[in-house]
Amino acid sequence: MSLFASTSDSTFRLCGFQCAYVIETGDKFKSSARVTQGADKWLDVKKYKSTVDCVRDLKSLGYQVLATHLDANAKPIGEVDVTKPTAIVYGNERDGISKEMIELCDQTVIIPMQGFVQSFNISVAAAISLYHITRERELKLGLQGDLSEEEKAVLAAEFSLRSSKNPERLIEEILSRP
């Protein structure tokens, strides 16, 4: 199960999303450099063994937790206020969202579809919903992200280190400057 978090907190950024939370309740999470094409180095991944621990941590940070799941209480994603700190949950393609997560989340949401298709695969569902959240934030808040200039500089420095083949040498060189 994966969660993406969006908030005004500078820790969670990558086009408005900086952090992915992964709950490893069964199969071990594997990232694939071939699939991510290097984009994974710009994202913070936090892993949990327990759904309860993950949701508790998110809620302690002030997040609302939305789960993509079709049930009687599900709202279309466009009807949920995503201008406040939000984590969105996607189930894996084999098992979907756990009953435990459905009970712990604040709201189940659906991505409206036309025709006879009953569901999207996880990558399509994530792309559509994350695009929607980014657009809603831009329309309602007038911006996609809300980092200060200092936060942008810190993040740029961190990403520079992540992309360096030898970050230790780079840090040593910078610290040795007068």
The token pair that represents 24 in the structure block? 């490893």
Residue carrying the six token digits 């060189």 = 173
- Residues 64, 98, single domain; the answer is yes
- Ranges of the chain whose pLDDT falls below 70: 1-17, 26-41, 144-147
What integer pLDDT is reported at residue 6 of this predicted model?
41
Q: What pLDDT is attached to residue 88?
A: 92
Strand spans (E) along the chain: 2-6, 19-23, 44-48, 64-68, 75-76, 86-90, 107-110
In this structure, are residues 22 and 48 in contact, taking their beta carbons and an 8 Å threshold?
yes
CATH number of residue 12's parent domain:
3.40.1280.10
pLDDT of residue 58: 92
Residue 82 sits in the same domain as residue 168: no
Same domain, 75 and 161: no
Domain range for 42: 2-144
How confident is the model at residue 41, as a pLDDT? 67
Residues 67 and 100 in one domain: yes
Whether 69 and 154 share a structural domain: no
User: Using one digit for the tens of pLDDT, what is the confidence trace for 46-83?
Assistant: 888 899 999 999 999 888 999 999 899 999 999 999 88
Find, among 103, 125, 123, the residue nearest to 112 by Cα.
Answer: 125
Same structural domain, 170 and 119? no
Count of the separate structural domains present in the chain: 2
Distances (CA, A) of 69 to 26, 61, 105: 19, 23, 11
Query: Is the same domain home to 111 and 47?
Result: yes
Q: Which pLDDT does position 146 carry in this prediction?
A: 65
Same domain? For 98 and 156 the reply is: no
Same-domain status, 134 and 170: no
Same-domain pairing of 64 and 139:
yes
Q: Are residues 158 and 137 in the same domain?
A: no
Burial 31-65 (b: 16+ CB within 10 A, else e): eeeeeeeeeeebbeeeebeebeebbeebbeeebbb
Same domain, 74 and 158: no
